[in-house]
Chains A and B, each alone.
Chain A
Amino acid sequence: MSAITITPIATFRTDDPYPFCPGCGHGPILDRLNEALIKLDLDPAKVVIVSDIGCSGLSDQYFVTSAFHGLHGRSTTYATGIKLANPDLEVVVIMGDGGTGIGGTHLVSAARRNIGITVIVMNNLNFGMTGGQHSTTTPEGGITSTTPLGNLEHPLDICATVGVNGAAYVYRGSSFDSDLAGRFAAAMEKPGFALLDVWDLCTAYYVRSNKFTRAGMEDSMRSWGMEPGLLYERETTEYAAGYREAHEAVVGSPVMSARPIPVDFEATLDRPMSLVVAGSAGGKIRSASRLVALGAIRSGLWAAQRDDYPVTVKSGHSVSELWLAPAEMPLTAVSRPDVLAIISVDGYGKAQPYLAAMTADDLVLTIPEYASLDTAARVVVIDPKSAEKRIPKTSMGLVYLSAALAITNPYPLDALREAAGAGSFAEVNMEAVETGVALVG
């Protein structure tokens, strides 16, 4: 006889009796869970029972473990967050068949991810708590308070659904199974997502309305094509562990650290100036604006750009409003631009409100198609065909903005050249700048 005896914790149950109706299957299922927890000899503080809503959702209160009693159908999502944040925890979800309906997408996703949680479905073929309404698992023909003439819907095969979608351990049985505690323990020990569809009796409703009994339960399963037993078992990478492994290499690398822009030039601009470039999506309008802004910042100016484009980022219009200013200025819309560049038919479609507001002090740069624009502003027509080389569509924005800067001279063109040369696509962008300058030079 050894001097030390290790006594596993005697029970994970509180002293309180279950609140369920006489004969309800939920109690025996919880007893089997208790046996499984005893068998695995877990620390109750390291076990989190996440319960759903319904009579099944009352379960967690009868255990001495940690618990999370959340919203209807969403238990799997809390369990996922709990496990992801602390993979050392043993996370057990208890839900009713109701939860598999309203939260079905979460079950499928949890199975696909193989997050390391164990889901026990207390499947009594109806909503017990709310008065015996039909659920996703109510058999065809089943009489419930919402299917008084018999259910017309096909019952959900929960096991097949999570099984074909990657779950690591899938078992179907009933509250009467003699080895249920062993199944629970095996499921908890299995890395990855485990689900046990445990059929049981709702004595208050489904049993009464359908003369449904223990004897008929297994036969019924088979007749509906839902075999009992261990249905799927596979080796998988548990998601919380897999995530950590996949990201190990980046831990400790710098987070979006500031990339200060050098100020090497001096601007002449002494008041806020607005430029609008109106073109087509896919034409790198936003990138062109950004380079002009970066050139301004290199010259000690402030800059901001507000972009407008449809959800389909590669078709339709793309309009960029750009502010350059000697001092910080709040974010505002451009109503009357100092310079407007119209470089495509989509852009022209968006130009009207700007054109209407512009005066003789302002400048419009346009492609030849819109040479006879109706505006008070000075119009300069730039024909891209007169450029030495063909201008690619994706350079048009930068070409016209460079031309605008060459005419209005808010800051040294060399600052723009530096900005264009410093980023990606440097060669193309530098060429676009020179083309723009040459076209008006």
Chain B
Amino acid sequence: MTANTEAPSREYIDGTTAIVRGAIDAGCTFFAGYPITPASGILMAMMREIPKVGGIAIQGEDEIASIGMCLGAAMSGSKAMTATSGPGISLYSESIGLAIMGEVPLVIVDVQRLGPATGGATTVAQGDVQFIRWGTAGGYPIIVLAPSSVPESYSFTVKAFELAERFRCPVFVLTDKELAMTLSAVDVDDSTVAHGTERPEKHEGLPYSWEPADAVEPMRRYGDGDAFRFTGSTHDEGAYITKNAAKVGALNEHLIAKIEAHRDEIEMVDTDLDPKADTIVVSYGVTAGAARAAVARLRTEGVVVSNLVVQSLWPIPETALLDAFDGVQRIVVPELNMGLYGREIERIAAGREVVGVNRIDGGLITIDEIMEAVR
């Protein structure tokens, strides 16, 4: 037996652990959630871990209470996170709108499971990709990051907190049963990149400003400085309810502009392009695993093909996609739904052939299925 000191230091963890570590390293001090497979692991770990950094974790009486507590805590100065699966996202719906309207930083983890309603609790799917985009009234922009591995589950959670603070808005981490619960070997270094950016804060004055439209006002916190207000109703800069058309328009345009005008700070893709390829595989989340493996195998067989993994699902990284589609005729989009993101690709790729590889039976899309679609 010889000690191999050259060997990298590895551990064996799942995406749940990576998300919890990412949150705490990012400075999360408040968590509230309601048990639901496959997201319960995050709740249980948070209940155990967050008190160690002096934070608070609580099991709410339901999902509405959980996200409500997060919003309250965030306004008292905490960096907050909640985690659930499809049925719980349904109950978050109205409160997601409140977070958007009140400009509250909040990280929401959606660990996807299969199907409508109760569906398949221990079964993988990617059916929430449009649901969380349009999950609340009004149709305002939302930020969604989709990790495709355990190390990304860590780093994208950290990133989600950064974006939530930067733009004062809810940010989703979209994962799924397999990514959250599959154990994998990871380099220890990959999961210990402590960040934890400070929240931009101010200590007095109006809680909001939208001049210019894309500017994000630093946050106030209750108990710090003078009194200030918060409301979920259409409001002016002081959070007083208003129907003044100029004010109402300015507020709503601000909610859009602060994200749309800064897409370059949010959009993320992982590209592996071959300039000679006329076919590209576009995937995200857990399906990116099979896509990467299929592309690697096809190349060993001499097939010329490109690969792109979308990491910020929303806003859609249109510029990067269009660049990648240059010279491409066919786009293969594997996803664990019947083409929910494929339709966005079709829109962006207008004129090119878009081939879906789809599955909604609880199995993962296989390497072979993607290879076949490329060939």
Contact = CB atoms under 8 A, between A and B. Distances in A.
B350 interface: no
Interface string B7-49: 1111110000100110010000110100001000000010001
Most central of B30, B184, B233 by chain A CB within 10 Å: B184
A66 B122 contact: no
A6 interface: no
B232 interface: yes
Given A105-B62, A265-B1, A77 B191 contact: no
Contacts of B74: 81, 85
Interface string A53-86: 0000010110011111111001001111111111
A323 to B, nearest CB: 8
Interface stretch (A207-215, A295-303, A391-399): A295-303
A224 B16 CA distance: 52
B364 A81 contact: no
B322 interface: no
Contact of B241 (A50, A61, A263): A61
Interface stretch (A130-138, A329-337, A341-349): A329-337
Nearest to A265: B1
B53 A331 contact: no
Contacts, number: 243
A85 B76 contact: yes
B293 A74 contact: no
Contacts of B98: 70-71
A253 to B, nearest CB: 5
A264 interface: yes
B58 to A, nearest CB: 7
Contacts of B80: 81
Interface stretch (A41-49, A140-148, A168-176, A186-194): A41-49
Interface stretch (B175-183, B246-254, B261-269, B325-333): B175-183
Contacts of B1: 264-265, 414
A310 B177 CA distance: 13
B227 A45 contact: yes
Contact of A331 (B65, B223, B286): B286
Given A300-B7, A331-B182, A77 B230 contact: no
A71 B4 contact: no
A88 B69 CA distance: 17
Interface of A is mostly: mixed
Interface in B176-198: 178-179, 181-185, 188, 191-192
B70 interface: yes
B182 A106 contact: no
Contacts of B94: 71
Interface residues of B, number: 90
Interface in A289-347: 290, 293-294, 296-297, 300-311, 328-333, 335
A250 interface: yes
B338 to A, nearest CB: 19
Given A45-B226, A81-B32, A81-B76, A305 B182 contact: yes
Given A82-B75, A260-B188, A331-B289, A48 B9 contact: no
Contact of A48 (B24, B222, B231, B240): B222
B121 interface: yes
Contact of B288 (A58, A254, A330): A330
A304 B10 CA distance: 12
A248 to B, nearest CB: 9
A262 to B, nearest CB: 7
A289 B24 CA distance: 29
Contacts of A46: 223
A266 interface: yes
Interface in A249-273: 250-256, 258-266
Given A259-B11, A304-B183, A64 B227 contact: yes
Contacts of B308: none
Contact of B11 (A260, A305, A330): A260
A109 interface: yes
A71 B232 CA distance: 7
A222 interface: no
Contacts of A250: 51-52
Contacts of B223: 45-46, 66, 86, 88-89
B12 A290 contact: yes
B363 interface: yes
Contacts of B2: 264, 266
B339 to A, nearest CB: 20
B298 to A, nearest CB: 14
Contact of A304 (B4, B61, B185): B185
B148 to A, nearest CB: 7
B366 interface: yes
B9 A81 contact: no
Contacts of B51: 247, 250-251
A318 to B, nearest CB: 11
Interface in B212-248: 221-233, 239-241
B73 interface: yes
B360 interface: no
A302 B182 CA distance: 14
Contacts of A309: 122
Interface string B136-147: 000000000000
Contact of A67 (B32, B181, B239, B365): B239
A89 B76 contact: yes
B10 A260 contact: yes
B122 A82 contact: no
Interface in B66-101: 66-78, 80, 94-95, 98
A69 B64 contact: no
B117 interface: no
A340 to B, nearest CB: 16
A44 B223 CA distance: 9
Interface string A95-130: 000000000011011000000000000000000000
Q: Across the A-B interface, give the 9 residue pairs with the lowest CB-CB distance, nearest first.
A: A81-B72, A77-B68, A85-B76, A81-B69, A263-B7, A247-B51, A330-B289, A78-B72, A331-B289
Interface of B: 1-4, 7-12, 17, 20-21, 24, 29-30, 32, 37, 45, 49, 51-54, 56, 58, 60-62, 64-78, 80, 94-95, 98, 121-122, 148-149, 178-179, 181-185, 188, 191-192, 221-233, 239-241, 286, 288-290, 292-293, 363-368
13 contacts: A45-B224, A45-B225, A50-B72, A71-B232, A77-B72, A78-B71, A88-B223, A89-B76, A109-B65, A254-B52, A264-B2, A265-B1, A300-B4
Given A260-B9, A330-B289, 9 more contacts: A84-B58, A84-B69, A85-B74, A243-B58, A258-B11, A260-B11, A294-B12, A304-B182, A330-B149
